[in-house]
Amino acid sequence: MQDAITSVINSSDVQGLYLDDGSMSKLQSYFRSGQLRVRAAATISANASAIVRDAVAKALLYSDITRPGGNMYTTRRYAACIRDMDYYLRYSTYAMLAGDTSILDERVLNGLRETYNSLGVPIGATVQAIQAMKQVTASLVGADAGKEMGVYFDYICSGLGG
Ligand code: CYC
């Protein structure tokens, strides 16, 4: 896993250079947004189950997906879906704190599309649910932090191929 600091330092290190102005300003903007990131992460942790619940209600409940034959039908699959949504929220929060997407590649997206395809989990509906979670989160943490979280929710959606 990388973060905004290690990724800037690593790219200077491979060239054997001190940080240039562009690298310095990347670091500065990351440090300036530190309070925003930590405050957003605290709000999200304190409200995680409500965020997942509201996103599921907005995007998935009482649709074909929750009726017999749908991929969320039976409580076992319903529970797997809620758990997946919680993973997406938690890992997006980690990535937002780090200011870097690498943790999402390594721990969430690696093999996920193939797993979903082989189990028949619908990717379009998953993407809609993640987009709903992006809206719910933004309404809770405010526009600036919401936009930052949006980067990582969107990254998961495009990694899923949605
Ligand atoms: C299943 N979701 C799974 C499985 C994995 C993940 C590996 C198969 C194994 C299992 O059932 O636990 C996802 N596991 C992860 C991720 C990580 C991990 C991301 C990284 C931390 O370790 N079905 C829908 C909804 C959607 C959904 C649209 C919720 C948004 O219709 C999810 N995922 C869903 C369902 C299953 C599943 C229903 C069970 C499918 C089945 O067994 O038939």
Task: Identify the band that residue 162 occupies on the pLDDT scale cut at 50, 70 and 90.
Answer: low
| pLDDT for 110 beyond 90 | yes
Note if the pTM is more than 0.85: yes
Domains of the chain are: 34-160 (1.10.490.20)
107 annotated to a ligand binding site: no
Question: Average of pLDDT values for 19-42?
Answer: 97
* pLDDT 10s digits, 69-85: 999 999 999 999 999 99
What is the average pLDDT score of the chain?
A: 97
Across 46-60, average pLDDT: 98
The secondary structure of the chain, three-state, reads CCCHHHHHHHHHHCCCCCCCHHHHHHHHHHHHCHHHHHHHHHHHHHCHHHHHHHHHHHHCCCCHHHCCCCCCCCHHHHHHHHHHHHHHHHHHHHHHHHCCCHHHHHHHHCCHHHHHHHHCCCHHHHHHHHHHHHHHHHHHHCHHHHHHHHHHHHHHHHHHCC
157 is in an annotated binding site: no
Side-chain-side CA neighbours of 114 within 13 Å: the count stands at 3
Average pLDDT for 92-112? 98
Whether 48 lines ligand 1, by a CB cut-off of 6 Å, is no
List, as own/partner pairs, every contact residues 25-34 make where C-beta atoms lie below 8 angstroms and the sequence separation is at least 24, other chains included.
Answer: 30/4, 30/5, 30/99, 33/99, 33/148
Residue percentage of the chain with pLDDT more than 90: 99
* pLDDT level of residue 145 (50, 70, 90 thresholds): very high
Q: Kindly state the average pLDDT of the residues 10-37.
A: 97
Q: Do the annotations mark residue 71 as ligand-binding?
A: yes
Mutate to test the pocket of ligand 1, among 115, 121, 131, 136 (most ligand atoms within 8 A of CB): 121
